[in-house]
Amino acid sequence: MWYMNEERQLMLNIAKDFVAKEIKPVAMEIDRNCEFPMKLFKRAGKLGFLGITFPEEYGGIGGDWTTLALILEEIAKSLPVLTVAMGAHSLLSGGLLNMLGTPEQKKKYLLPAAKGDIILACGSTEAVGGSNQIEFSTRAVLSGDEWIINGGKVLISNIVVADVYVVLALTSEKLDPATRAGMSIFLIKAGTPGLEIGKPEHKLGWHGSMTGSISFKNCRIPKENLLGPLGGCLQAMFVSATDEFMSCGPVSLGIAEAAYEMAKKYSQERIQCGQSMFDRFQVTRHKLVKMYTEIETLRALVYSTHAVKDKGNLVLAEGRLLKIKGAEVAEYVAREAIQLFGGVGTVIETGVERFWRDAKVMAIGGASVEALMDNIAFMMKNKMI
């Protein structure tokens, strides 16, 4: 592949080893029990997967985005939910810390986060506005040396297990719709009085991602826990969210590849009337070719976009395209894979249906593909693309 080099290949081999020896044996069990993959998450930290794009001085490896994509793709082939936890931790929360943190904040939070010694969660989405910050109502007010936070967030990944929540809150009366000024970010440690953690939701897919609500009732945090400029964090949030959307490309690619490989193997081994399904039915062959075509199309989009990102571009529109196209391809391929399996494809123990469940959530979790299309349309209208 044009995007491979020796260093990336060695790092990918490490991910392959990790998947084969440690993830694959427990992946089905984690999905079935809806448990956060704590042991794997900690191991991912020790192996350096949680700080790939962080600077070396803060525990990362100063790697590029293409390397991150290769590793996410590989992990997603076995356990997509681990990449979801990694995305919330390293890209959304860690990304904001990396962009906005003071050296002291980075040393205190980013360094242990890169090693997996602490877990981060990002609190943005709210019940009323969804991901539309104009409608957010969580508010922070400065009182002496403390910020007092009131409000609530919903559908937040890594709740319960997180040690630190990176939370968006209004610090003005309302968000300026033109300049987007008025929103700030705060670092809130788990266990802080006034921070209440809800119960993880039972979801269609992403079992074990610990997604749920958090609320703040006169939650007091030190003044220095403000992350970044007062009232001026949304640009950074837009960038870190883009990085997270972009990561949905390789994750979706991994999901699609896993489902496709299972269906291809089954079609070649399942005998009907003396022939494999692959040899006997044109419809089987054509389905597999279409699935393969979509996968290779997505692969081209994923790695060309990451190559552009590696050159220092923000890829605000292209990053969103990866989530849109990735979710579409992963859901299509996983659905067709189940269809090729027939009845046994719907049996949980077969292990293919979970990829469809995870693929379906890809189109919604973090931001719906429709919201992202509106983002891109806005960029079109304003001649940004």
Binding site for another protein (CB under 8 A): 6-7, 10-11, 13-14, 17-18, 21-22, 46-49, 52, 56, 61-63
Q: What is the closest distance, in whole angstroms, from the C-beta atom of residue 40 to another protein in the complex?
A: 12
Q: Which is nearer to another protein, 276 or 368 (CB)?
A: 276
Q: Closer to another protein by CB, 11 or 291: give it.
A: 11
> Is the four-CA dihedral 95, 99, 104, 105 of positive or negative sign?
negative
In the complex, what is the shortest distance from the CB of residue 21 to another protein, in angstroms, rounded to a whole number? 7
The contacts of residue 114 (CB under 8 Å, 6+ apart) are: 45, 48, 50, 51, 54, 58, 59, 60, 94
CB of 12 to another protein, least distance (A): 10
| Separation of first and last alpha carbons in the chain | 28
Q: How far is the CB of 123 from another protein (least distance, A)?
A: 29
CA distance 228 to 118: 20
Residue 158: CB minimum distance to another protein, A: 22
Q: How many residues does the chain have?
A: 385
Q: Which is nearer to another protein, 14 or 34 (CB)?
A: 14
CA distances from 30 to 149, 199, 239, 250, 263 (A): 35, 18, 31, 21, 22
CB of 10 to another protein, least distance (A): 5
Closest CB to another protein among residues 29, 56: 56
Look up residue 98 and give its two tokens.
């990396």
User: Residue-wise over 184-206: b if at least 16 C-beta within 10 A, else e?
Assistant: bbbbbebebeebebbebeebebb
Q: Give 43 or 280: the residue with its C-beta nearer to another protein.
A: 43
Spatial neighbors of 293 by CB under 8 A, at least 6 apart, are none
Shortest reach from residue 98's CB to another protein, in Å = 17
95 and 331 in contact (C-beta within 8 Å)?
no
Q: What does the alpha-carbon distance between residue 254 and residue 86 come to, in Å, rounded to a whole number? A: 15
Nearer to another protein, 16 or 189 (CB): 16
State the nearest-atom distance from the C-beta of 48 to another protein, in Å: 3
Residue 44 or 183: which CB sits closer to another protein? Answer: 44
- For residues 228 and 195, give the distance between their C-alpha atoms in angstroms, rounded to a whole number: 21
Type of residue found at 160: V
For residues 18 and 75, give the distance between their C-alpha atoms in angstroms, rounded to a whole number.
8
Nearer to another protein, 56 or 269 (CB): 56
Kindly tell me which of 45 and 87 has the beta carbon lying closer to another protein.
45
Nearest approach in angstroms of CB 135 to another protein is 40
Instruction: Write out the E strands in the chain.
Output: 120-123, 139-143, 146-156, 164-170, 183-189, 195-197, 212-222, 226-227, 271-272, 275-276
CB 98 within 8 A of CB 106: yes
